[in-house]
Amino acid sequence: MTERLSRRKFLGWSSVLGCSAAASPLMTPVSLASAPGDRRLIVIILRGGMDGIDVLRPWGDRAFAEMRPNLAKEQNNALQITDFHGVHAGLKHLLPLWQAGDLGFVQATSTPYRDKRSHFDGQDILEAGTVDLAPLGRRTGWLNRLLPYLPGAVERTAFAIGREDMLLLTGDASVSNWSPEVDLTLSSQGMRLLELMMQSDPDMGAAMAQAIALAGSDGDSVTFDMSEQGMMDEMMADAQEARKGKTHLKIADFAAEQLRGESRIASFSISGWDTHANQQRALNAPLSRLSETILRIKQELGKKVWDKTTILCMTEFGRTVRENGTKGTDHGTGGTMIMAGGAVRGGRVFGGWPGLADSELYQGRDLMPTSDVRAWAAWAMHDSFGVPQSALESGVFGGLDMGASPGLLL
């Protein structure tokens, strides 16, 4: 296992060498792991509790419009995808994927988390893949626990350049982390000085070489033959790009570049789904970011790799069926998982529909979950990497019953 380069150590070196750190409003580390085979798996955590029945609208359920007099008052036939379902207008740019069979949904699904409705606990349970946090005290993620079951998996040098690791890929197996919040710039003279300094310490030199290669893989050059002012202008341009809210596209570009190479698993998060008020307007921005991210990944992967790719978009919980007094929704239970990729058996909605009548709701207020979101993730991993069902049920998810195969992937 290679030495882990901590963010503190890296930034310490950076300050000596004149590196820059540009803050981003959407800071998220990207975690990657390599594995054998051609299949790729991307897991996107949608932080904030996405309203699944606003994203995948059950227009065929009579109670939907009754429960949501504002949010469900309009039905756009152009957005209808089945006899029963439509989608939010924020996903309209993904409809060609649906028609091509590269987009699908799982309705009324949830983690085992119930009742307390805390974002923090909900996200931890989602990423840990456990029934709850207290008894197991598990602080590793299910994607990390998957890696030992992939024969021949290569543990790449691990970097922590950015904020904290995602729990989802945290654990004993080494993975690589990258974040768009940190950029590295050096003059040619500075680069030469760095190379001379590292000649006497091959291990540190190798680690720094990898850090420089990683920093340059986001499209920005690491070295600049320009004035100090020119370098400052370049840094300001990076910061302005982050303020424009386009960080998700840099993340998509970086993830796609790695997945075209040796990496096979990637994970990152998209925030902004907590819509307690003015949901009709508030949901547009995160849905737009998600759509742009998926389409950018598809574009950058190219058809050959896209056809081997599965994207799972998961959130910590759903939201209340009834809209509240501020035209939003509050923390709930059953939600929706979005799937995309050429490997997905798309153009369909998976999972059972429980109904929205009062007697059919969880605690009289939430969509009743009809499936465990961990089982869908487990089948995606089984179909992607051939991991035995017994290993997924015991070693990765600890006691999960995956049930029969839903035929999630092609």
User: What pTM was computed for the model?
Assistant: 0.81
> Average pLDDT of 132-154?
77
> Average pLDDT of 95-115?
97
pLDDT for the residue numbered 176:
75
- Are 272 and 247 contacting, i.e. CB atoms less than 8 angstroms apart? no
pLDDT for the residue numbered 13:
39
Tens digit of pLDDT for each residue in 242-300?
A: 556 688 898 899 889 888 988 888 888 999 999 999 999 999 999 999 999 999 999 99
CA angle at 375 for the pair 31 and 292, rounded to the nearest 5° = 45
Tens digit of pLDDT for each residue in 292-338?
A: 999 999 999 999 999 999 999 999 999 999 999 999 999 999 999 99
pLDDT at 8 over 60: no
pLDDT for the residue numbered 250:
86
Q: pLDDT class for 6, splitting at 50, 70, 90? A: very low
- If you write DSSP's letter for every residue of 343-382 in order, what string do you get? TB--SSEES-----SGGGSBTTTBPPP-EEHHHHHHHHHH
Structure tokens at 56: 């995948």
Query: Among residues of the chain, what percentage have pLDDT more than 70?
Result: 70
> Average pLDDT of 208-223?
61
Q: pLDDT class for 226, splitting at 50, 70, 90? A: low
> Average pLDDT of 138-162?
67
In terms of Cα–Cα distance, which of 189, 144, 191, 186 is closest to 168? Answer: 144
Round the average pLDDT of the chain to a whole number and report it: 82
